Chains A and B, each alone.
Chain A
Amino acid sequence: MSGLRDVFIVDGARTPLLKSKNKPGPFSASDLAVAAGRAVLSRQPINPAELGEVIVGCVMPAVDEANIGRVVSLRLGCGKKVPAYTVGRNCASGLQALDCAMKDISMGRHDLVLAGGTEAMSRYPLLVTPQMQSWITDWMVAKTFGQKLSLLPAFRPKYLRPIIGVLEGLTDHVSGISMGQTAEVLAHRFNISRVEMDAFSIESHRRLEFAAENGRLEELIPIFGADGTVYDVDDGLRRDSTAEKLAKLKPVFDRKLGKVTAGNSAQITDGSAMLLLASESAVKSRGLPVLGRMVDVKWAGVEPTEMGLGPVPAIAELLKGNNMKGADYWEINEAFACQVMACLKAYADPEYLLKEVGIDSSLDPIDTARLNVDGGAVSMGHPVGTSGARITLHLLNVLRRNNARFGVASMCIGGGQGGAVLLERVS
């Protein structure tokens, strides 16, 4: 990294993560990012117009949110002169936004960048079939009553079957299987039982409950609906979760013989996390606070059908590249309970590392007591574009709380990738 500038994370905020009720939720993706972004901007001594760039990660903005990054920056009052863009790396879009910000700052292009992720999964659209689309187009073009009448016999009831956007989005159309099925693949390969994954889920909920009740979600800001409704908690949290209750749930993706259920998978949610990143000179000249230094980011690829293992090579290569053996605290995004468990098994397996990652040096094991200490996506949800920014921000708060130095946040990415970021707390 020689010759490049240090990059600091100054501040960040996130909205509560709001579980999808299978209907459009109260906030659009840009509403959420604006809520998070303005909380950061209103407490830092910078003028929004001084930002070098606004970068937003989002997998599926609404059709009226093209280049949602620009939508967000204009709504935040950054003004016409601040450029903005949107990035996508599927489930790691938020982390990608931070990586882009880091590159912009370390290269010396900018001194201040607002970056993060947002997603309103509850607002993913229902789509019509292509046949329906062409039939409607013909209908609209038809001028006379006779022409319209002649179109009627061409209509088939099956045209009416909607395409559910969220299901399409969570399917890898190259390998042809859904994200949930990739989790089933891992559960099988690493021999993870239904009981184990349910236990993981219960622990995730327990940790989130403890964190929420003890003020550990410092980055969480309340947001308000137009009708005054207050949203100030991650409402996916199940305080009454028990092994018995979870055991009753039916597998979702492999309906007959599978183990992955709604109870041990990440929830479909809406939410946003936005962070302010700055160069050293900006920090010094403006007297900005510093949450930590963004040291390095690593991206890696794995078999698409085993996309959940992405964090393993990403973390291993990240640490090796920085001559490190481990970190003080960890976040691995909980796309699925069994997926995180599979990552831990693979990471601890020298043979896997050597054969699949090509790394033979021994890395320190990941202590589960220092992993996802305040719960994760299984308990609070995984708004896909947001989670990368959320776990980065939260990990910085965990490091500060524990007076620790290094942290690694990582996540798997649909399509068969992994991403990891190395963070250092600086005082």
Chain B
Amino acid sequence: MVPTKKYKNMFVERDEKNVSWLYLDKEGSSANVLSKEVLEELDLCLEFVENTEPAGLVILSAKKSGFVAGADVNEFVAIKDEVSALSLIRRGQAVFNRLEKLPFPTVAAVHGFCLGGGLELALACSHRVARDDEATQLGLPEVRLGIHPGFGGCVRCVRLLGGLVALDLILTGRSLKAGAAMKIGLVDMTAPERHLKDAALALLTDPPRPRKKGVMELVVDSALARPFVGGLIRKKTASKANPAHYPAPFAVVDLWQKYCGRWDRMMHEEAKSVARLITGRTAKNLVRAFQLQERMRSQGKKSAQKISNLHVVGAGAMGGDIAAWSALRGIFTTIQDREPKFVSPAIKRGHDLFSKRLREKRLVQAAMDRLIPDVKGDGAGKADLVIEAVFEDIEVKRTLFRDLEGRIKPGATLATNTSSIPLEEIAEALSRPENLVGIHFFNPVPLMQLVEVVKGAATSREAMEKGFAYAAQIGKLPLAVKSNPGFLVNRILVPYLLEGILMESEGVPKTVVDKAATNFGMPMGPLFLADTVGLDICVHVGRIFSERLGMSVPERLESLVNAGNLGKKSGRGFYEYRDGKRVSPASEPKSPLDMTTVRDRLVMRFLNECAACLREGITEDADMLDAGMIFGAGFAPFYGGPLKYASDEGVSGIVETLGELEKKYGARFKPDAGWKLVSGPRG
């Protein structure tokens, strides 16, 4: 086959069977994205193909990474107003409609990433085949960026799969492997790499009959049932995402409920809806969060270092989960603790994690084979990186590191997962303090994306890079932080937590305190967070902080712990727990404070601490601070991070509120000098 037509971002070949093969191949990029330029070229290309009157068209990707990773995120940040957004979307719809209306059969042969606009493109073809391997991912993750599919994806997905299945795919934004996509009817065939092109040809010459719709599907999509079903879906979605903060999923339900079956109208409304969403605050900020995530990820990928063997000392919940997660991600990991019985829970948790994530028996076995119990600590001598996750006791850690330093191989790096002890104090035990870096994970390790890579006074560039490389290798987001008490995330969370506890002891009902926080957009209220972390740990960390940051541990917290109420793990803390689930409390007294004051006291302490961290240069810049709080503390991503929130709301207003709170509640609300560094509204 010879290229019959070459464009900048794609090329077309014609084979002896008169089939055209359109390869997407974006210039200067390792992945295909649907930028405006690519879309326009695709339009020209389809026109060319149509004029050559082929027997059929197969669309595929020349990139190793996959089919199409989605729309060009950078482009849609640049969109300023709804009118230009709408015209861009309409243009995309027009190109895909042209593809759909071609007078010969079309097949998308996809591999790797087939996401967002990429899947919408595939849906505009008559049929789809997906390469059957681990890398293939099909999905419509738009809601995660605050929008929904706009190039006809909502329409085609509902039309193809029925409302229930389509909405599930769009509302969750999850991606499917080839097999799962085949099962729901998103693709017509799956094939291993060696058969992918044959399968595409087979779909052209011998297309499968359209799927027969089930009775359930017909009922759900009927005009009569839609309002009722839509209500149910809205309710379920609202339990996961507040419509005030996340409008996109609800817009999709609306589209389906109002226009299902009237496809042209639905297409029209789909475009309008996306144009509205894309220019809104939520989408802008979610895109910002996505870009911050990409920035952190790219930092980890810079280093050529690779961890083959990891040794973890301390098989508690944290050490065990770090080891298991690393083994899951392909690293041979030895996990050490004093006796087999202390290692045992880590192995069980590892097996549970692997079973949940990998499912297939042989993959679970391979991960278990990489998670190596090591009571004697033999693996330390072989590891490229040794992570300590033992109890927070400076002497224990010093003794351990002194011993480790003499046993590690040349070029290996030492790391501590401490959350409250300054690196410098641990490094005193070492003859090469530059070889110690902090690698601070968050609980629960499998769910929390952020890893703070902590630079102590002596930490070398190489040790920092090792930390970054490791975090990237295990699919986490590394954030460089200065070795100050609490680093970034805990440092900012602790005042928020303590303020919540203080208000509770002042008589504000616990649910009111937590509700004020979740209404603002926090994933958890401070009291539930304290219970989840463990009140004993809160006291322990609180004490360390009170020494170093001049705060005191509330009496209420001490008295709870003294009474043996440690939070979730003991069954009682601020809340009561049954089988690990929170019991909703009986009726509570009226709050002495109004909701706004409760919210302000929580949020302002949080924000004020952010300003302090910015001033002290805990992170590289304000953006990285925001990234840390979004991915390490779950700070409402639709605000784009705490400092972005502050500048959007207006710094002067915040400083003013802080000043009022200071007058009422004392010096802890004194506006930090760091506010001078926070700029006004930022894009």
A interface, CB within 8 angstroms of B:
34, 38-39, 42-45, 75-77, 221-230, 232
Contacts and interface: CB of A to CB of B under 8 A. Distances in A.
Contacts of B376: 43
B467 interface: no
A43 B379 CA distance: 6
A73 to B, nearest CB: 11
B441 interface: no
B662 interface: no
Contact of B378 (A42, A75, A224, A225): A42
A427 B154 CA distance: 75
A229 B370 CA distance: 18
B341 A230 contact: yes
Nearest to B379: A42
Contacts, number: 58
Interface string B336-378: 0000110111011001000000000000011011101111101
B348 A232 contact: no
A114 B65 CA distance: 38
B344 A229 contact: yes
A77 B348 contact: no
A371 to B, nearest CB: 30
Nearest to A227: B348
Given A38-B372, A45-B409, A77-B370, A224 B344 contact: yes
A225 B344 CA distance: 8
Interface of B is mostly: helix
B369 A42 contact: no
A223 B344 CA distance: 9
Interface residues of B, number: 26
Given A42-B378, A45-B382, A230-B341, A222 B373 contact: yes
A224 B369 contact: no
B334 interface: yes
Contacts of B378: 39, 42-43
A228 B347 contact: yes
B381 A230 contact: no
A246 to B, nearest CB: 32
A224 B379 contact: no
Contacts of A222: 340, 373, 375
A84 to B, nearest CB: 15
B332 interface: yes
Contacts of A77: 332, 369-370
Nearest to B330: A77
B369 A38 contact: yes
Interface hub of A42, A75, A221, A225 (most chain B Cβ within 10 A): A42
9 contacts: A42-B334, A42-B372, A43-B379, A43-B381, A76-B369, A222-B340, A223-B373, A229-B344, A232-B340
Contacts of B365: 75
B338 to A, nearest CB: 12
A96 to B, nearest CB: 25
Contacts of A45: 381-382, 409
Contacts of B366: 75
Interface string B369-408: 1101111101101100000000000000000000000000
Contact of A34 (B369, B382, B409): B369
Contacts of A229: 344
B373 A226 contact: no
A13 to B, nearest CB: 10
Closest 8 CB pairs of A and B: A228-B348, A43-B378, A222-B340, A228-B344, A226-B351, A230-B340, A224-B347, A42-B379
A186 B351 CA distance: 49
A88 to B, nearest CB: 24
A223 B375 CA distance: 10
Contacts of A232: 340
A75 B340 CA distance: 22
B344 A230 contact: yes
Nearest to A11: B378
Contacts of B373: 222-224
A27 to B, nearest CB: 11
Nearest to A222: B340
Contacts of B369: 34, 38, 75-77
A225 B343 CA distance: 11
A307 B245 CA distance: 80
A28 to B, nearest CB: 9
B340 A43 contact: no
A141 to B, nearest CB: 30
Nearest to B409: A45
Nearest to A28: B365
Interface hub of A38, A221, A229, A232 (most chain B Cβ within 10 A): A38
Contacts of A226: 347-348, 351, 368
Interface in B293-342: 309, 332, 334, 340-341
A39 B343 CA distance: 15
A76 B345 CA distance: 22
Interface string B149-186: 00000000000000000000000000000000000000
B328 to A, nearest CB: 14
A240 to B, nearest CB: 24
A159 to B, nearest CB: 31
A32 to B, nearest CB: 12
A76 B332 CA distance: 10
Given A77-B332, A227-B351, A42 B340 contact: no
A21 B475 CA distance: 43
A221 B373 CA distance: 10
B297 to A, nearest CB: 27
B21 to A, nearest CB: 33
A224 B382 contact: no
Contacts of B409: 45
Contacts of B372: 38-39, 42
A39 B334 CA distance: 9
Contacts of B341: 230
Contacts of B344: 224, 228-230
A222 B342 CA distance: 12
Contacts of A225: 347
A34 B374 CA distance: 14
A75 B365 CA distance: 9
Nearest to A13: B378
B30 to A, nearest CB: 27
A77 B365 CA distance: 12
A386 B174 CA distance: 48
A39 B372 CA distance: 8
Nearest to A46: B382
A76 B372 CA distance: 11
Contacts of A75: 365-366, 369
Nearest to B365: A75
A232 B342 CA distance: 13
Contacts of A221: 375
A412 B390 CA distance: 49
A250 B370 CA distance: 46
A42 B343 CA distance: 16
A227 B347 CA distance: 7
A228 B332 CA distance: 19
A369 to B, nearest CB: 31
Contacts of B374: 39, 42
A44 B370 CA distance: 16
